[in-house]
Structure 1
């Protein structure tokens, strides 16, 4: 495969759909996952790739200003926002036309759904190379369910052999002249009822697409339940937990077990002086007694480390989380002190994208109970509960 740095590509992200199957007043591409809109993850995924030169986001008129403010606030300078249309093909065509002033006929354009958060760089590269060679390319996946056809009365008429068919997925790639010509020749019927871009390239540009089998993570958010799946995948892929300064081997063992059951990556560091927090977005600190200054200093240092984080993955794109586990025989007194610290600092920490929680534990509290609570806090990472103090008590 050729070096993709020598093959600049552009991306068209149709995001003008209303999400009727999603069942929500807000289109699914703007719904939040981990406190950020879905479309932002998709844009970020492409924007970090050096060989992606232009990203056209096509949205309905009512969301143009919203997207423009969103991409500007995140510094996405490759993004161009274009107004969509009533149907998918018409919206994509608007995105294609927006690239006419910046692309040559032989350049490569990829079309990808805004609600497909997860696409590997290797897939993007493979589709881009294949479309450069053949004029068009797309990915597919095996069908999960058998496809049947009912008659006019609602009775089974035909059952297709699913081994002969595939589910068309995204991204799909094209030579710019191919996809532009296909849309220029498409009929009103195609624009009103069609959904398959590869078929337009075949029908109107005479270009037979090369099909590439894609990985399982090319699914898109379609139904409300998919929001939870997307959240789980993001957490599983991106959350790395570091346990710092915990001298209690039993608690460490419990944390490794419970966090591992969630498929989260866990590392253990003896002290805060020797740990590296740049590549860690979840940190658990262990204290043998409550120290307001220590809690504040540690948290402020995390913010400083966060500013140094220049990784291009989604990890710095998510809020960082810190949980202070404090062992004490006076949890009531510590709770009062913890509340004072949180009231003084929590708003400032939240604005700096740091979620802070305190777990107070009696010395006699079972380590398994503490571990379960800490794991639940990390996995849930609820921003509404940021700044709260929890008591881990055996009852």
Structure 2
């Protein structure tokens, strides 16, 4: 009776969740035409790599996987159109169209909105979101889309962190605003298509040249007062170079799920829980590669009590096969899958030579399949705490350049 009740409740929940999006037809405009002047790089920040992937791919991914998102217009400057189209094609983003940008933010967004005219109904929802706000989640996208559908316009806001002051033009304080009364306007912002299209059609050159706030255009030219939705703390955008390092750290923290496979020493599992953080480690230890959920986790520590070339090769081949079964693998630009082979042996140097032969024959193939494979060799007498620290360091660093490398965990 208990399980029947749980099943019925879960079914009802899933049905209601699906019904909640049935009436939503959402398209997205991602302005990505910035030059990265504040970022201080010759490469625009939206194309700078984080964990070996351009930032813009993370943002596209968040929208592309949602069933109610039908079209995504990515607006880029002329020099990057070909590059953007290559990214779209290589990642099989069939909802994305690449649109030529303009020399101001509003003009670029308008180009994106106009590109959707042939595929949208007036009552459909359009979400505008910065391409460099890569941590936008499904819950806030859905909330903004629903609010826009109901009121015509909606946008995310956050409390101000710093007090806003005004200068008198001579370098002296003239005014200090009460930050309790004001909010920071963030993205995403959503609109009924007819509202945002009408607002842009009526906007002046002054709006296009100096304006930045889409919600204000909807109020000023379409008479639509936006509903404000308080957003989470992770909607910040990559603006300065230091933000790249913050983004990398957050991605590693959010996207890492580790499992341990093989005949593993329970002491190693305990140490890994400490070094990785318990929430990152799938505590259930697999008895063998056949019992592992190879697709569900993106990092596997495979424990060997002796070197076995066939076992290492077979495990990796099985993982590649499992990836092919998953129809969404090609839509995952987030994280490469990581395999760390921990090999406990009596003679580390002899084992190192054997590992080298395996790597030389397979390393390039593994990398093409978005796998990062590392080897940690340890003498039998080495403390598990030392092995765990080495494994955790490899996982957290997950450097693509070091793919295929062998590390030695030794008591020094």
Structure 1 and Structure 2 fold alike (TM over 0.5): yes
**TM-score of the aligned structures, taking structure 1 as reference length:** 0.96
SS at match of 1:384: helix
SS at match of 1:21: coil
Gapped regions of structure 2 (runs ≥ 5): 1-16
Q: Distance in 2 between matches of 1:57 and 1:209?
A: 24
SS at match of 2:385: helix
Gapped regions of structure 1 (runs ≥ 5): none
Q: Corresponding residue for 1:53?
A: 70
The answer to whether 1:89 aligns with 2:114 is no
**Residue deviations 1:241-268, cap 9 Å, x none?**
111124322211101111117x524332
Q: CA deviation at 1:27?
A: 0.5
Q: Corresponding residue for 1:219?
A: 236
1:239-388 to structure 2, matched below 5 A, reads 239-260=256-277, 264-267=280-283, 268-310=285-327, 317-388=334-405
SS at match of 2:289: coil
SS at match of 2:358: helix
Q: For residues 313 and 74 of structure 1, do their structure 2 counterparts lie closer, same or farther at Cα, with a shift above 3 Å needed?
A: closer
Q: Distance in 2 between matches of 1:205 and 1:316?
A: 38
**Contact 1:239–1:315 under 8 Å retained in 2:** no
**Residue deviations 1:47-82, cap 9 Å, x none?**
111111111000000111111111112111111111
**Contact 1:183–1:200 under 8 Å retained in 2:** yes
Q: CA deviation at 1:196?
A: 0.3
Q: CA deviation at 1:302?
A: 1.5
Q: CA deviation at 1:126?
A: 1.5
237, 244, 254: which is aligned to 1:237? 254
Q: Corresponding residue for 1:3?
A: 20
Q: Distance in 1 between matches of 2:102 and 2:174?
A: 36
Q: CA deviation at 1:100?
A: 1.3
**Residue deviations 1:28-59, cap 9 Å, x none?**
10011111111111111111111111110000
**Contact 1:5–1:50 under 8 Å retained in 2:** no
Q: For residues 273 and 101 of structure 1, do their structure 2 counterparts lie closer, same or farther at Cα, with a shift above 3 Å needed?
A: closer
1:133-282 to structure 2, matched below 5 A, reads 133-260=150-277, 264-267=280-283, 268-282=285-299
**TM-score of the aligned structures, taking structure 2 as reference length:** 0.92
Q: Corresponding residue for 2:120?
A: 103
Q: CA deviation at 1:158?
A: 1.6
Count of residue pairs the alignment pairs up:
394
Q: CA deviation at 1:208?
A: 0.9
Q: CA deviation at 1:175?
A: 1.2
